Amino acid sequence: MDTLFFIAAKIVGFLVAPSTWLAALALLAVLGIALERRGLAIWSSSILFCSIVLLAVLPLGAALVRPLEHMYPQEPRISEVDGIVVLGGGIDLDASRVAGRPELNEAGDRITAAVALSRRFPEARVLFTGGSGDLFGRGGSEADAARDLMLSLGLAEERLVLEGASRNTAENARLSRKVVDPQEGETWLLVTSAFHMRRAVNSFEAAGWPAMVPYPVDFRAGGTLSVGWDLASSLQLLRIGLRERVGLLGYSLFGR
């Protein structure tokens, strides 16, 4: 069931991506020209052009992502911490393999924030949970790369706990709970990207973790919603917003 859910999530993620829609419109326009269907070519190319302009100018992605990013306080009030859970997703496994060392991606704040928190709370255990989200299992495990990086940043090896088999957030929660066996009354911080925090909190609650303190990082949407001309950023934010909202719905329906 986990594998089926993993594959289904990859397929849904591909289908809801704005770039997929744009590519489909471009394909229709090409087919219209090739088949001499003038109406189809004009209709699809017109929608494609209007979509590109609207996506480049209007902050549609930011409008979806910002509410997700501000569901939890940026700096929660905490005094004592027993453990810090940091979700994978911040390491580029392909780039790491080529470079021969851990390479961070846009979500690298997850790891750097966890190391900073470990210094703030020197008695807390640090759990990194994340394997590989690659559909074909290529590129190794994020946990292995995270170990090298976090130790190089000064984290003591005896404090670090790794879970390297999980492929998604639901598995992060379930498998990491088996690794550390958190107890009632303990305080655990949950570190992940702000836009992803709601789904992460839901997953950890569903997996039976005691109440966790969300510690959101990696904010993407910015402070204001303004018009401009940035198609690449708009597409990325819209993809994130759609993926997270579809993910929230799917996780809720399947109790994950």
Residue 6 has pLDDT above 80, yes or no: no
- Beta carbons of 210 and 182 less than 8 angstroms apart: yes
pLDDT digits (tens, 9 = 90+) for 221-232: 876 667 778 888
- 44 and 115: one domain? no
Contacts of 236 (CB under 8 A, 6+ apart): 61
Partners of residue 239 on adjacent β-strands:
none
Query: What are 19-38's pLDDT values in tens digits?
Result: 999 999 999 999 999 998 99
Same structural domain, 125 and 207: yes
117 shares its domain with 46: no
Spatial distance between the Cα atoms of 249 and 198, rounded to a whole number of angstroms: 11
- Whether 55 and 169 map to the same domain: the answer is no
pTM of the model as a whole = 0.89
Q: 116 is written with which tokens?
A: 């900073």
Quick one: DSSP state of residue 47? H
Q: What is the pLDDT of residue 13?
A: 84
Q: Do residues 161 and 182 touch, judged by C-beta distance below 8 A?
A: no
pLDDT at 113 over 70: yes
Query: Can you give the CATH number for the domain in which 213 is found?
Result: 3.40.50.620
Which is nearest to 179 in space by CA: 153, 196, 160, 194? 160
Kindly list the distances between the CA atom of residue 129 and the CA atoms of 41, 100, 144, 181, 195, in Å, as whole numbers in the listed order.
Answer: 48, 21, 10, 14, 18
Do 85 and 21 lie in one domain? The reply is: no
What percent of the chain lies above the pLDDT cut of 70?
95
**95 and 29 housed in the same domain:** no
Q: Where does the pLDDT of residue 252 fall: very low under 50, low under 70, confident under 90, or very high at 90 and above?
A: confident
Angle formed by the axes of helices 197-206 and 231-253, nearest 10°: 20
Please tell me the distance from the alpha carbon of residue 105 to that of residue 191, in angstroms, as a whole number: 16
Q: Are residues 35 and 145 in the same domain?
A: no
Question: What is residue 7's predicted lDDT score, i.e. its pLDDT?
Answer: 81
Contact assessment for residue 126 and residue 150, using Cβ atoms and an 8 Å cutoff:
yes
| Pure H helices in the chain | 2-16, 18-34, 38-57, 60-69, 93-99, 109-120, 142-152, 169-180, 197-206, 231-253
Range among 53-67, 129-143, 192-206, 210-224 rated most confident = 192-206
Say if residue 83 is in the same domain as residue 48. no
Q: Please tell me the total count of domains within the chain.
A: 2
Residue 203 confidence (pLDDT) above 80? yes
pLDDT digit string, tens, across residues 40-86: 999 999 999 999 999 999 888 999 999 999 999 998 988 899 999 99
Tell me, yes or no, whether 108 and 190 share the same domain: yes
Asked if residues 41 and 32 have their Cβ atoms less than 8 Å apart, the reply is yes
Q: How long is the chain?
A: 256
Q: Are residues 47 and 126 in the same domain?
A: no
- Name every residue whose Cβ is closer than 8 Å to that of residue 61 and which is 6 or more positions away in sequence: 221, 233, 234, 235, 236, 237, 238, 239, 240, 241
Q: Which of 212, 70, 253 is nearest to 127 (CA)?
A: 212
What pLDDT score does 79 carry?
A: 86
Q: What is the pLDDT of residue 9?
A: 78
Q: pLDDT at residue 216 above 90?
A: yes
pLDDT at 237: 93
Tokens of 199: 């789904």
Report if residue 222 sits inside a domain: no
Domain with 112 in it:
77-217
